[in-house]
Amino acid sequence: MRIDIVTIFPEFFGVLDISLLGKARQQKLLDVTVHDLRDFTHDRHRTVDDTPYGGGAGMVMKPEPWGEALDRILGDPLPGTVVVVPSPAGRPFTQAEARELALAPALVFTCGRYEGIDQRVIDHAATRPNVEVREVSLGDYVLNGGEVAAMAMIEAIGRLVPGVVGNPESLTEESHEDGLLEYPSYTKPSVWRDLEVPPILLGGNHGAIAAWRHEQQLERTRRVRPDLLPDGLS
């Protein structure tokens, strides 16, 4: 999968060199390029923002540098390329969306700062052939910019790209994959600071363990996230 990121803070994405995603990049499973938006400016101050039309607080990101950056990146897009615009005004990002985006051949993340990017940049990108634009929110809170949101999404999506996670089974037995929260996990020693591992997990009865784990998932989801449960289970 090809991933392009446009930002005024390329340093933010240094973390993509480490851990699982760093390994996936080395193995060429993920082909990530980070672009500095200021490289697409032409003035001495490398200006990327200006005051909003209509007044109001804050600054808006100017369309010209974004247009040039996207012209470069989306010059000849692979069919199915998705431009992801992290924004608190977007649709909520979910595991289902991560699964869908993991199937795309190419993703472009546009990291806005200040009060966001001039809307015409997003509207124009949506007119490009072979390109779909999605405005996506990480949650109902406001970050200082799209960088942290893009990082979170790239991690959630990247780990679903085939080959990135060594044991694919570990992807199916986790929170949100079956609509429920994950069951609690334990490892050795069986007693730690007087706290015991639930005895059923030590017995080797796989059917009983699976049933216990499912019950734990339901209990935890009812307690912490009842909104996730279908009506019959709440």
CA distance 26 to 28: 5
- Determine whether the annotation assigns residue 142 to a binding site: yes
Strands 191-192 and 195-196: antiparallel
Tell me: does residue 88 bind ligand ADE (CB under 6 A): yes
Please, which residue, 32 or 111, has the CB nearer to ligand ADE?
Answer: 111
Tokens representing 56? 């109001």
Q: Which is nearer to ligand ADE, 100 or 182 (CB)?
A: 100
DSSP 135-165: EEESSSS--SBHHHHHHHHHHHHHTTSTTSS
Distance CA 130, CA 80 (A): 6
Q: 203: Cβ–Cβ under 8 A, 6 or more apart, which residues?
A: 209
Residue closer to ligand ADE by CB (options 34, 136) is 136
Instruction: Report the C-alpha gap between 26 and 160 in whole angstroms.
Output: 17
Q: What part of residues 137-156 is at the interface with ligand ADE (CB under 6 A)? A: 137-139, 141-143, 146, 149
Residue in 86, 118, 122, 158 binding ligand ADE, rule: CB under 6 A: 86
Q: Smallest gap, in angstroms, from Cβ of residue 60 to ligand ADE?
A: 14
State the minimum distance, in angstroms, from the CB of residue 74 to ligand ADE: 21
Q: Of the two residues 138 and 156, which places its CB atom closer to ligand ADE in the complex?
A: 138
List residues near ligand ADE by CB under 6 A: 86-88, 137-139, 141-143, 146, 149
Annotated binding site for S-adenosyl-L-methionine: 112, 138-143
